[in-house]
Amino acid sequence: MRLESPYSFADTLTGLKSTLEGKGFRIFATIDHRAAARSVGLGLPPMTVVVYGNPKGGTPLMLAAPDFALELPLRVLVREDQQGRVYVTYNASTTLEGKHGLPGGMAQRLASAEAVISDALAVPPGQN
């Protein structure tokens, strides 16, 4: 899934992390690809991956299918293109259905994260 953000890169990243944490998700890591590129003398537009999850939700999935741990924690990419548009990209829960032996229907438990991401990109009433 790729959604366009109505906010700047910095505001999108800050708002996304704040919204995830406010909904009970833990931020495990933030990977700044632009900073990594700069460290070796290369250029890259702003591009950051946020690694997040909720052990209470993920643990039952890993118990049901231990190899599903390769998909957890979840990741979301925030990036800015050459025209200054900001996008938020993530794997929809439906794409994880049945992966690594996960029993049918269990990937749907990850769908709540998608709603949180959408909430983070919503423009408050009166501000559009």
Q: pLDDT tens across 110-122, in order?
A: 999 999 999 999 9
CATH number of the domain at 66, please. Answer: 3.30.310.70
Answer yes or no: is pLDDT of 94 > 90: yes
Residue 123 pLDDT grade (very low, low, confident, very high; cuts 50, 70, 90): confident
Q: Which residue has the tokens 């999850």?
A: 53
- pLDDT digits 0-9 by tens, 66-91: 999 999 999 999 999 999 999 999 99
Residue 124 pLDDT grade (very low, low, confident, very high; cuts 50, 70, 90): confident
50 forms beta bridges with: 30, 76
Is residue 28 in a domain? yes
Collapse the DSSP code of 57 into the 3-class scheme (helix H, G, I; strand E, B; otherwise coil) and give the result. helix
Is residue 96 in a domain? yes
Is residue 95 in a domain? yes
Please tell me the distance from the alpha carbon of residue 128 to that of residue 117, in angstroms, as a whole number: 19
Please tell me the distance from the alpha carbon of residue 36 to that of residue 59, in angstroms, as a whole number: 31
pTM for the predicted model, two decimal places = 0.93
Is residue 9 in a domain? yes
Quick one: tokens of 10? 């910095």
Is residue 103 in a domain? yes
Domain tally, the chain:
1
Is residue 91 in a domain? yes
Is residue 41 in a domain? yes
Is residue 22 in a domain? yes
Domain with 29, as residue range(s), is 2-121
Q: Are 55 and 69 in contact (CB under 8 A)?
A: no
